Structure 1
């Protein structure tokens, strides 16, 4: 309680208003460095527009898609990433510029700082603002020289363009690579199945067992019809001729030859060595034909998939669109001396008022 007599209104004004204002005035007059701002506005768009319900409108719009919100958000994170900082530092010697300003103790970059602290400092000097409605990205770079701020902003745009082109082309290449690998596999399978068909034909000396079996069936049916006709004629002859007549003997020879030929034709389809049976050859050939047809269909689908992937990859390629290019600032935007001093004065006055109220209340309780 012994401090209360010392807390006079004059001393409170000096301690809470005059001293902070004096220190701030000295800082802003002799130490605060001017910081220039270069600004750019950009967004990410797709190269072409998907076909919609109004093709005429799409044609008039020239195939321009609305900005991609997700890609713009990815770009925002990349601008504030360590990778971007290292690229800018390698191109423009970013650390040396921010370390060169030694007067300002609050906004300078101290030497031998860690890369993590350098990244935090970089993020405080480079603002990246995202417009939720228009999906626009605004990049604001602070520098102690207007030319340097403009150079950094331009470098950020160039690096951002490489980033957008890089990941969009990478996705397109991966999509095309997958489709081409599928096409290559389908081509190999088609070639192998065709080679199996040719090898089967060469091995069995037959072009189409199915067609030959069908022809053999037709021939067998014709032979059976002819045999039935001759047997009917034989019965007719034997009704009025004896078996030793030359007509009956001749007809009997024709019937025997026809039966022998019929047995041969039947044997080709269902008897003989297993590898030479027409029915089994036809079954194997049908299986090979189905495999070849399936491989050909798969090859056609793979061809269509490659073409669709090429069209889709072209449609999905993204590009960086610069809405507002960076310009050289003519007037330093920071520090806002008058605004900061006025704000500090208001805060000091509020603090002084609260302190006076507390001191007065305590004194009243003592009395």
Structure 2
């Protein structure tokens, strides 16, 4: 009996010791998990505080100034400045606006602004936070990328309005840069159109020279024809000869009628009849000679002279008209070179901002809080999965 009690006592002692050992292990694991959780929370809280501090106190506060412009074609003859200003010529306006946008985003414009406003020096100074600042090892591409991030350009395809804005730590400088951007864009778009006009001028100048040479050659051919055939105007000569033939035929008919009338009561040997016969014979000889000169195939007929003369004359007139039109085009293009065919019409002027636009600290902090909470949840979930796997 005593042996049984002893065995039961030993078993009880063993069970109690195992329970105590398991409780201690569970307690140790709980303490360890709480320690890890606190470390994890401390890490996430520290990261949140560091980033929030950067956003609130270190991130550069940028002031925005912007303006609204539209490309206006000065050659447009429409006088109305109503709604048609915003809807007419949309395709051309879009093309011009895209040219402006491309140029303002270019390194050429950046270099020009850098000379005036010392942007590279500013971007390398303490006025810019460490995340966006340019350093000694920064490349030209980094400089251009930072400039483009500060430049705000938006084109409205419906109205054709181009919005140009710029961000800077100094609101006065931001306003001045936007004004300079508008001025440079206006110059560039007119320089682009002048370049096109210059190419057209070169082409039209060659056309003028070619048409002038053709005109001079046709005039020389006409003069040579006139001097060779001693004819000033074969058409007038032909008209004169045909008029003479008509008059002679009419006179011949009249004299024959008079001769027949005189024969009714006069003798054939009468002086008046003899004179009429002689006049009729002379008129017939003259008519025969003139008609022979007009129609004789052995001698070139006057009609062929007329056709050749008309051909040369028409060629001169045609070349003269071509030369005239090319001169008109030449003068038109020359006028285009000395005027601004297009301009940026400023709808809203750049303004001086009284408060910074970026960063939007409240929105940024809320976004940061959501992202950190999401990341903390993901890390906790992964940790729980791994712990369950080992257990």
TM-score, structure 2 normalization: 0.71
Computing the radius of gyration from Cα coordinates, the structure with the larger value is 2
1:100 aligns with 2:125: yes
Contact 2:86–2:161 (8 Å) recurs in 1:
no
Indicate which of 335, 355, 358 corresponds to 2:359. Answer: 335
> What residue number does 2:39 align with?
11
Rounded Cα–Cα distance in structure 1 between residues aligned with 2:334 and 2:80 = 21
How far residue 320 of structure 1 moved from its aligned partner, in angstroms, is: 0.5
Contact 2:155 2:162 in 1 (8 A): yes
2:272 & 2:143 partners in 1: Cα distance?
A: 120
The aligned counterpart of 1:291 is: 315
| Structure 2, unaligned runs of 5 or more | 1-28
- Contact residue 194 and residue 336 of structure 2 kept, 8 A: no
After superposition, give the CA deviation of every residue in 1:42-97 in whole Å (9 maximum; x if it has no partner).
2212236455xxxxxx5474984647233222211221112211221232222111
Verify the 8 A CA contact 2:234 2:305 in the aligned structure 1: yes
- Which of 37, 48, 51 is 1:24 aligned to? 51
In structure 1, what is the Cα distance between the partners aligned to 2:254 and 2:74?
80
Q: CA deviation at 1:98?
A: 0.8
SS in 1 for 2:291: helix
Say whether 1:77 aligns with 2:141. Answer: no
Does structure 2 retain, via aligned residues, the 8 Å contact 1:47–1:314?
Answer: no
Distance in 2, matches of 1:63 and 1:176, equals: 32
* Deviation digits for residues 130-165 of structure 1 (CA, Å, limit 9, x no counterpart): 233333222232223333323322221211111122
- The answer to whether the 8 Å contact 2:218/2:315 transfers is yes
On the 8 A contact 2:99/2:189 being kept in 1, the answer is no
1:44–1:320 Cα contact (<8 Å) kept: yes
2:145 paired with 1:120: yes
Q: What is the aligned-residue RMSD (CA, Å)?
A: 4.4
Is 1:138 the equivalent of 2:135? no
Q: Deviations over 1:306-343 (max 9, x none)?
A: 79889999999321022232233333333344432332
For residue 55 of structure 1, what is the aligned residue in structure 2?
none
Between 169-178 and 89-98, report the one with greater CA deviation.
Answer: 169-178
2:289 alignment counterpart: 264
- Other-structure match for 1:40: 67
Contact 1:47 1:63 in 2 (8 A): no
Aligned-partner SS, 1:8? helix
Q: Deviations over 1:173-216 (max 9, x none)?
A: 65677667656655664555445444533443333212222332
Relative to 1, partners in 2 of residues 1:265 and 1:109: Cα closer, same or farther, differing over 3 Å? same
The answer to whether structure 1 residue 358 and structure 2 residue 386 are counterparts is no
Distance 2:80 2:334 in 1: 21
1:206-237 deviation per Cα after TM superposition (whole angstroms, max 9, x unaligned):
33212222332343455466667878969x98
CA distance in 2, matches of 1:245, 1:136: 106
Please name the residue that 2:115 is paired with: 90
Q: CA 1:92/1:306 → structure 2, altered by over 3 Å: closer, same or farther?
A: same
Distance 1:103 1:198 in 2: 82
Q: 1:150 to 1:201 in 2, by over 3 A?
A: same
Give yes or no for contact 2:155–2:161 (8 Å, CA) kept in 1: yes
